[in-house]
Structure 1
Amino acid sequence: MTELLLIIALAGQRVAIPAGDVEAVVEIEGLTPIPRAADHVAGLAALRSRVLTVIDCSASIELGRSCVQGVREAIVVEADGHPYALLVDTVEDVMEYSGEVQPVRTSLAAGWRRVARGMVEAGDDLLLLVDTQALLAGPTAQAA
């Protein structure tokens, strides 16, 4: 089965996500904080007359909050009919993938382990395939 993957940098690491999960790649600016929100929720942002809940992916994978000041790249995904923006370091490329998803054969920190779906070959690299829904859920999903 052939699938498109979006290659991104997340918390300093190159990873892949299924391109079918992505509605758009955007720049986010001007976040509005949400009182008492989970630690991985960076705030709210407006995009084309829609309100997006913005997720700090570094906090979601338990690597601490990233700097959310200024303009940041994000990918827009949808869950249960609601749009979310996942803050990423950079968006690199889209690639076609037709191989099997391989199991993760290395030790990962707990946050990475929670969001990992497996490994995929991207040219000469082996990249972690990340589950966008697990990023949205954040670290509290593991405790539940």
Structure 2
Amino acid sequence: MMDRLYLIATIAGQPVAIRASAIDSVVDIGEVTPVPRAPAHVAGLAALRSRVLTIICCDRALGLPAPARRSTRGVVVAIDGHHYGLLVSAIDDACVIEDDVRPVRTRLDAGWDKVAVGMIDFGEETLLLIDPSRLIAGPDALAA
């Protein structure tokens, strides 16, 4: 059942699904300290429960402009032993989706094309299933 559990979030106005197995927690991100010379999609560093998170602006990671007002909603993921906080516009739901993941069969904008690993139906909506590690890599890695 865990492989069918997803977090539904909104990034840049687009509802997305993230496999729950990839998620450590969902939190409110407080103060973010900028990191000099960091890539544009790295918003900075934040402290969470005695650990340091690298904070990723998902909009910038997709190659889009940063939102006018920084979100405080974060999805914490661990990739290769490092913890990241993905800033999302909203956390919508966590739910079991019984439908199978389908390949993306529509043309997506470049940033979305690189982070989407499939599509899944949720009620009346079709959600993009995204890979958090591809967001963390950022737009330069996505373009390569």
TM-score for both structures, normalised by structure 1: 0.93
Corresponding residue SS for 1:138: helix
Deviation at 1:13, TM superposition (A): 1.0
- CA distance 1:143–1:127, shift in 2 (3 Å): closer
CA distance in 2: counterparts of 1:143 and 1:90, whole angstroms: 26
1:124 counterpart letter in structure 2: E
Long gaps (5+) in structure 2: none
Matched, 1:139 2:119: no
1:123 counterpart letter in structure 2: G
Aligned partner of 2:94 in structure 1 is: 94
Matched, 1:45 2:46: yes
CA contact (8 A) 1:15 1:129 kept: yes
CA distance in 2: counterparts of 1:68 and 1:99, whole angstroms: 35
Deviation at 1:67, TM superposition (A): 4.1
CA distance in 2: counterparts of 1:97 and 1:27, whole angstroms: 25
Identical aligned residues as a percent: 50
CA distance in 2: counterparts of 1:131 and 1:66, whole angstroms: 21
CA RMSD of aligned residues (A): 1.5
CA contact (8 A) 2:62 2:111 kept: yes
Show the 5 A alignment for 1:38-117: 38-67=39-68, 69=70, 72-117=72-117
Deviation at 1:143, TM superposition (A): 3.8
Deviation at 1:98, TM superposition (A): 2.7
Aligned partner of 1:127 in structure 2 is: 127
CA distance in 2: counterparts of 1:55 and 1:40, whole angstroms: 6
Q: Deviations over 1:31-82 (max 9, x none)?
A: 100011011000000111111000000000111123464x610000001111
Q: Deviations over 1:109-140 (max 9, x none)?
A: 10000000010011121111011110111111
CA contact (8 A) 1:45 1:53 kept: yes
CA contact (8 A) 1:42 1:68 kept: no
Corresponding residue SS for 2:101: coil
Corresponding residue SS for 1:7: strand
TM-score for both structures, normalised by structure 2: 0.93
